[in-house]
Amino acid sequence: MQINITFNGTAQTSDVEPRQLLVDYIRGTGATGTHIGCDTTSCGACTVLVDGTPMKSCTMFAVQANGKSITTVEGLKQNGDLHQIQASFKEKHGLQCGFCTPGMMLTSAALLEENPDPSEDEIRWAISGNICRCTGYINIVKAVQHAGEQLRNS
Amino acid sequence: MFPPAFAYSAPESLDEALATLTNEGESARVLAGGQSLIPMMKLRLASPAHLVDINNIPGLDYIDAANGYLRIGALVRHNDIVNSELVTAHNGAIASAAPWVADPLVRNRGTLCGSVAHCDPEGDWNSVMLAARAQVVAQSTSGERVIAIDDFVVDFFTNSLEPGEIVKEVRVPKYAGRGGGAYLKLERKIGDYATVAVATQLQLGEDGKISEAGIALTAVNNKNTRAIAAERALVGEEPSDEIFKEAAALAAQAAEPESNVRGTAEWKRNVVSVYTRRGLEASLAQARA
């Protein structure tokens, strides 16, 4: 089936089998920043933005992305510079192994779009569908708070 | 993981979707949010030959309050309900349950109507709907049929839809007078199924006595189950700690939980009792507010 999607800002047309999952489609294009963790809708490692809303790309078919705009971690960078959420994850060391990080950053970026000054509770609530097994979330929360501050001051 | 091959259509009108469902019969399934169906297909627990994706059909994402009902259309996502002032104004149990369904990412995609149709006994919405005396509006090429939620939830993953029918809307009657509701859910972590959850709804008459009571239980039976004896014990009574305790004990008797990784049967039954009492207290406070 032919699908037309805007992938990280670029229009592309592809031929996909209906049963192909969005995450497999994305990784098949070479954009391997979107990770497959649990593959059962539990962990959030495969989070992408669908028309700006974070969703699990392991639980959506590629055909369902027809006509939509998909943003992955590769699409966060703007004009060659890291997105503020990426810079803040680096600055605050909001990661250890890095496996959950792409999904964590996309969910956080969407949160800050909607709520530029979230409380710690709001951040923890927003990322509660993204599981991190390393950090204990402390530095992830700090990174999101830092990104919020920077974005508000810029 | 990926599912077995299937035929896929994404109609842009409800009529077209219904025609496909009628032609394909029992081999077709409706795909709305897909947050339960797609994992089941990946695990090969479900293998429909044809998926009818309704996400491109306009006009199914409504939440409104009309003709005495709060109405929720087939494409309303869980997160739309979390953010709906209309829901908060009209039904406490629905408003209280919405933030506890799955996790934020699933709530962005999954639908209430899909969850109701799925009839997973560990799902949250059917308990809320049983307590709130909801109705399911089923549509097929031959017309519309309104099904009381008690008749809709048949058994473990089994609803009473006929082949060719789609859940177009779930609606709950507005409170007749003063009313309130709550959903209390115990879960090990965000996104896990409920260990135990209890939905409660109370309505008060002019005299301050309980005119209607709804209590339903999640994850402790082979389907979401109303605690009918507990409801009956409340109706016509003056709200009091004693009557709430009695109802809580009766609700626990309606639970037939299994011991598993989430806890022992005895403990779960105890949680049903505690959550019923707390839920009734919260529902009463809301009704009196």
Q: Looking at beta carbons, which residues of chain B come within 8 Å of A66?
A: 10
- Average pLDDT of chain A is 97
The pLDDT confidence band at residue B120, using thresholds 50, 70 and 90, is: very high
Instruction: Please report the pLDDT score of residue A39 as a whole number.
Output: 96
Copy the structure tokens of residue B109.
């995609």
Q: Please tell me the distance in Å from B83's CA to the nearest CA on chain A.
A: 13
A61, A63, A66, best to mutate vs chain B, most B CBs in 10 Å: A61
Average pLDDT for A100-129:
98
**Residue A95 C-alpha from the chain's centroid:** 14
Helix (H, G, I), strand (E, B) or coil at B29: strand
- Say if the Cβ atoms of A128 and B104 lie within 8 Å: yes
Average pLDDT for B102-129:
98
Q: Looking at beta carbons, which residues of chain A come within 8 Å of B77?
A: none
Interface ipTM > 0.85: yes
Q: Is the pLDDT at A150 greater than 90, yes or no?
A: yes
Q: Looking at beta carbons, which residues of chain A come within 8 Å of B106?
A: 41, 56, 59, 129
CB proximity B34 to A under 8 Å: yes
Beta bridge partners of A11: A6
CATH no. of B7-53: 3.30.43.10
Percent of chain B with pLDDT strictly greater than 90: 99
Percent of chain A with pLDDT strictly greater than 90: 97
Residue that has been written with the tokens 């496996």 in this structure: A99
Q: Where are chain A's structural domains?
A: 2-75, 84-153
Q: Which of A41, A63, A128 is facing B8, going by the closest CB pair?
A: A63
DSSP secondary structure letters along B141-206: TTEEEEEEHHHHEEETTEE-PPTT-EEEEEEEEPPSSEEEEEEEEE-SSTTSPPSEEEEEEEEE-T
CB proximity B51 to A under 8 Å: yes
Average pLDDT for B113-134:
98
Residues 166-195 of B with CB under 8 A from A: 190-191
Q: Which of B2, B10, B103 is facing A19, going by the closest CB pair?
A: B2
Q: Is the pLDDT at B209 greater than 90, yes or no?
A: yes
For the segment A78-114, what is each residue's pLDDT rounded down to a tens digit?
889 999 999 999 999 999 999 999 999 999 999 999 9
- Which CATH topology does A84-153 take? DNA polymerase; domain 1 (1.10.150)
Q: Looking at beta carbons, which residues of chain A come within 8 Å of B34?
A: 59-61, 64
Question: Cα(A52)–Cα(A54) distance, rounded to whole angstroms?
Answer: 7
Average pLDDT for A22-39:
97
Instruction: Please report the pLDDT score of residue A78 as a whole number.
Output: 86
Helix (H, G, I), strand (E, B) or coil at B276: helix
Of A142, A138, A77, A144, nearest to A109 (Cα)? A144
B78, B105, B187, best to mutate vs chain A, most A CBs in 10 Å: B105
- Say if the Cβ atoms of A21 and B2 lie within 8 Å: yes
Question: Cα(B268)–Cα(B257) distance, rounded to whole angstroms?
Answer: 7
A39, A64, A108, best to mutate vs chain B, most B CBs in 10 Å: A64
- Average pLDDT of chain B is 97
Instruction: Please report the pLDDT score of residue A154 as a whole number.
Output: 87
Q: Looking at beta carbons, which residues of chain B come within 8 Å of A64?
A: 10, 34, 53, 55
Q: Is the pLDDT at A14 greater than 90, yes or no?
A: yes
**Does the structural domain B178-288 have CATH classification 3.10.129.10?**
no
Q: Where are chain B's structural domains?
A: 7-53, 63-173, 178-288
Q: Which of B1, B51, B105 is facing A56, going by the closest CB pair?
A: B105
Assign domain A2-75 to a CATH class: alpha beta
Q: Please tell me the distance in Å from B237's CA to the nearest CA on chain A.
A: 39
Q: Looking at beta carbons, which residues of chain B come within 8 Å of A130?
A: 105
Average pLDDT for B18-35:
96
Of A89, A99, A102, nearest to A138 (Cα)? A89
Of B93, B131, B94, nearest to B113 (Cα)? B94
H/E run at residue A120: helix A120-126
For the segment B265-286, what is each residue's pLDDT rounded down to a tens digit?
999 999 999 999 999 999 999 9
**Does the structural domain B63-173 have CATH classification 3.30.465.10?**
yes
Q: Is the pLDDT at B262 greater than 90, yes or no?
A: yes
Q: Looking at beta carbons, which residues of chain A come within 8 Å of B109?
A: 55-56, 59-60
Question: Cα(B2)–Cα(B8) distance, rounded to whole angstroms?
Answer: 15
